[in-house]
Amino acid sequence: MTVKAPHHIDATTAGFEFLAAPQHAGVRLDRFLAEQPAIVAAHLSRSRIKTLIEAGRAAIGGETTRDPAKKIAPGDNVTLVVPEPAPAEPQGEDIALNIVYEDSHLLVIDKPAGLVVHPASAHESGTLVNALIAHCGDSLSGVGGVKKPGIVHRIDKDTSGLLVVAKTDAAHHGLSRLFADHGRTLSLTREYLAFVWGGPDRAHGTIQAPLGRHATQREKMAVVSESRGREAITNWQKVEDYGVAALLRCQLETGRTHQIRVHMAHIGHPLIGDKTYGAGFKTKVAKLAPAAREIVERLGRQALHAATLDFAHPVTGEEMLFESELPEDLAQLREALAGV
């Protein structure tokens, strides 16, 4: 945090910097800082300032001091570094989970659309992690990190489907290796069902296009040059063709953020309901039959479902295959598009 202040010299990237004036001669360091308008505006109490000084966060003339009572002299250059507040550790919450498999090392969840996987600034509670902490108790603590305990891979908030979670360090280590390998040399298969606009003119294909942050819209991903992005490969196969739309089965060879959504938009077939990457295809809705149009308009999310998860158990080595049927909203969309 950097704030301009009276007698402010050059701002630092992590705190405040002031130049003491003649009237500050003999003033205690903690009092001097507490009286600075920028410190007042930052809502730092004198007791908080004292704690920061004692923690070695203050300096006079470039020399760290831990004495809140140290006297200031005119011309002293005084700095105070205020660390970012530590994020709160997620707490357990009683959130219903659809657990399709569980043993002492891992569990497999069928995640509903709308459930965020792990806490972030916009979602501090109500996440899958909060539910997992309540379900697993202390056994999950610290597995993979405090903020993302047990999480090895993630699917978007508005994507439904299968997700595997580690309950032990051994499982976390093994699953992390699997997902880092992406099924190239180790046993891992992830397949998604995706409803896209337009019927691809081929039965199957592979999209190999590097992904990185969008140049101007930082919340979005985009296909970028190899020097700016990371390798991303999506294999797709057409399952059903509805003319104005199609159902594809997508298999990932890499696991980049929003990979399927960006790749399908890149080849001109964005996901139905994807407001981020498919906004330019709203006119397609008018070409649907009334029943399908109504379902698309109330869908409220991208039509993407993690349908298949196949991997070798990280501890026992047993082959684990899980398949998830389309949830009700996407099953209704499929029926309407097919004219059933």
What residue type is assigned to position 216 of the chain? T
Separation between Cα atoms, residue 108 and residue 314, nearest integer Å:
13
The answer to whether 189 and 182 are in contact (CB under 8 A) is: no
Nearest 5 degrees, angle CA 230-CA 155-CA 193?
Answer: 95
Q: How far apart are CA 227 and CA 59, in angstroms?
A: 42
- Alpha carbon of residue 266 to chain centroid: 22
Other Cβ atoms closer than 10 A to 13: 7
CA distances from 219 to 258, 271, 276, 278 (A): 11, 18, 10, 15
Place of tokens 């992590």: 14
Catalogue the active-site residues: 156
* C-beta neighbour count of 45 within 10 angstroms: 11
